[in-house]
């Protein structure tokens, strides 16, 4: 019989000051971790759903609460570079240098797994994904728990990742005992995942640290390409074809040029409205005038300016969730380029999309 998530009383939400975390509440949360429970907590990227990484039964509760398949590995969160030795059997020099330079921060390193870690953390692979989060609450929780914490995003599997405690509550109320509410996350998309078991190392998932920054630091860095690289097993979270998806059907135009995406959107909007469907568009400030002059009857959310992609990224998941809350049937979005965090935004929208259109020539 397929396991289903146990339902408990309403999940408790505790507000935490991220500048001065209440160590009493942190200690209470850490006690739950040590007792084999799962709790949700903020990081700088998205909210995580954490359990003791060395407790297989506790890790199972993560998969149960999320409805996550066992073949999708988890990221293990540690409090410092020094703790890396507890989760891996081999620390190459360049991995040590990466940790010293980018941690705490939104960079996850795939390294050789310490056999002391349960197999369900790593989908039975001999590698493990590890990072040190750059968030006072997350770091305090890890330190107080006195263990590494395995934590995927704190949402139902394949859905839109949570960037606030409210998002977590919407998905996991009654499935977990506690959410530490540290407000909205700052980066808003998940960490960059870098496979350090090969040379040159390869970005498996773009995220909060840009490929350009990694190449500046390391020199030679590859990037996973879905249509080129052969995948026999998933080495990292975020590599599944369908992920980060809202309930509404997302149409993603893989172009940054208005002369390409505007005709594509115009045809889609006209067809969907004619069919009596509710349409929404996730745009940037620079698109507002065109949409206002052409379509006043659709739902619009602007993520900010195209000139500030960090802001766009930080608002992306909240906008997708808001579109679902508004009851739209279809969401339209276009590309924001492949440089910096733009590559991470593109990756998330492509994996969330019901349809990806190249849109060239309309």
Domain containing residue 218: CATH number: 3.90.870.10
pTM of this structure = 0.94
Tell me: do 273 and 180 sit in the same domain.
no
Tell me: do 216 and 321 sit in the same domain.
no
Indicate whether 238 belongs to any domain.
no
Torsions phi, psi for 172 (to 5 deg): -120, 10
According to the model, what pLDDT value does residue 234 have? 75
Tell me: do 166 and 299 sit in the same domain.
no
Tell me: do 215 and 287 sit in the same domain.
no
Tell me: do 46 and 187 sit in the same domain.
yes
Tell me: do 20 and 169 sit in the same domain.
yes
Indicate whether 48 belongs to any domain.
yes
Tell me: do 198 and 275 sit in the same domain.
no
Tell me: do 212 and 263 sit in the same domain.
no
Nearest to 171 by CA among 189, 152, 186: 152
Nearest to 181 by CA among 196, 164, 197: 164
Mean pLDDT (whole number) for 10-36: 96
According to the model, what pLDDT value does residue 233 have? 62
- The total number of residues shown for the chain amounts to 362
Indicate whether 99 belongs to any domain.
yes
Work out the pLDDT band at 296, boundaries 50, 70, 90: confident
Tell me: do 23 and 133 sit in the same domain.
yes
- pLDDT digit string (tens) for 151-182? 999 999 989 999 999 999 999 999 999 999 99
pLDDT at 1 over 80: no
CATH number of the domain within which 342 lies: 3.40.50.11030
- pLDDT digit string (tens) for 187-203? 999 999 999 999 999 99
Mean pLDDT (whole number) for 90-106: 97
Tell me: do 50 and 122 sit in the same domain.
yes
Asked if 152 contacts 74 with a C-beta cutoff of 8 angstroms, the reply is yes
Radius of gyration of the chain (CA): 20
Indicate whether 7 belongs to any domain.
no
According to the model, what pLDDT value does residue 231 have? 56
According to the model, what pLDDT value does residue 242 have? 74
According to the model, what pLDDT value does residue 227 have? 66
According to the model, what pLDDT value does residue 250 have? 97
Indicate whether 362 belongs to any domain.
no
6: left (phi over 0), alpha (psi -120 to 50) or beta: beta
pLDDT at 2 over 60: no
Work out the pLDDT band at 240, boundaries 50, 70, 90: confident
349 CB-contact burial (10 Å; exposed 0-12 / middle 13-18 / buried 19+) = buried
pLDDT at 230 over 60: no
pLDDT at 5 over 70: no
Mean pLDDT (whole number) for 303-323: 97
Tell me: do 203 and 133 sit in the same domain.
yes
- pLDDT digit string (tens) for 24-58? 999 999 999 999 999 999 999 999 999 999 999 99
Structural domain boundaries, residue 30: 12-223
Work out the pLDDT band at 228, boundaries 50, 70, 90: low
Mean pLDDT of the chain, nearest integer: 94
pLDDT at 287 over 90: yes
Nearest to 178 by CA among 6, 7, 12: 12
Tell me: do 258 and 157 sit in the same domain.
no
Indicate whether 295 belongs to any domain.
yes
Cα separation values, 105 from 117, 120, 220, 274, 359, Å: 23, 25, 21, 47, 35
Domain count, the chain: 2
pLDDT at 362 over 80: no
């Amino acid at each position: 019989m397929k396991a289903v998530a146990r339902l408990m009383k309403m999940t408790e939400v505790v507000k935490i000051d991220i500048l001065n975390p209440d160590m009493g509440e942190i200690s209470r949360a850490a006690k739950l971790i040590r007792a084999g429970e799962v709790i949700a907590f903020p990081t700088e990227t998205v909210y995580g759903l954490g359990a003791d990484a060395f407790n297989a039964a506790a890790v199972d509760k993560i998969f149960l609460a999320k409805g996550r398949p066992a073949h999708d590995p988890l990221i293990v969160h540690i409090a410092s570079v020094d703790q890396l030795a507890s989760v891996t059997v081999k620390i190459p020099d360049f991995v040590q240098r990466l940790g010293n330079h980018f941690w705490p921060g939104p960079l996850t390193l795939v390294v050789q797994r310490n056999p002391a870690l349960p197999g369900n953390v790593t989908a039975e692979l001999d590698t493990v994904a590890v990072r040190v989060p750059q968030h006072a609450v997350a770091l305090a929780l890890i330190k107080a728990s006195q263990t590494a914490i395995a934590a995927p995003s704190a949402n139902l599997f394949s859905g839109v990742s949570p960037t606030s405690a409210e998002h977590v509550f919407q998905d996991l109320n009654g499935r977990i005992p506690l959410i530490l509410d540290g407000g909205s996350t700052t980066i808003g998309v998940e960490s960059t995942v870098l496979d350090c078991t090969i040379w040159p190392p390869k970005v498996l998932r773009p995220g909060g640290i840009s490929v350009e920054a990694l190449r500046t630091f390391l020199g030679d860095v590859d990037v996973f390409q879905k249509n080129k690289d052969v995948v026999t097993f998933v080495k990292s979270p975020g590599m599944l074809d369908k992920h980060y998806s809202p309930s509404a059907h997302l149409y993603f135009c893989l172009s940054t040029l208005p002369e390409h995406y505007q005709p594509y959107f115009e045809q889609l909007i006209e067809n969907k409205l004619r069919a009596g469907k509710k349409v929404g568009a996730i745009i940037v400030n620079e698109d507002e005038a065109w949409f206002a002059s052409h379509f006043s009857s659709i739902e619009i959310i602007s993520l900010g300016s195209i000139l500030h992609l960090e802001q766009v990224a930080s608002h992306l998941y909240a906008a997708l969730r808001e579109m679902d809350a508004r009851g739209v049937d279809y969401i339209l979005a276009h590309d924001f380029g492949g440089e910096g965090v733009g590559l991470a935004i593109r990756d998330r929208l492509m994996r969330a999309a019901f349809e990806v259109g190249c849109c060239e020539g309309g």
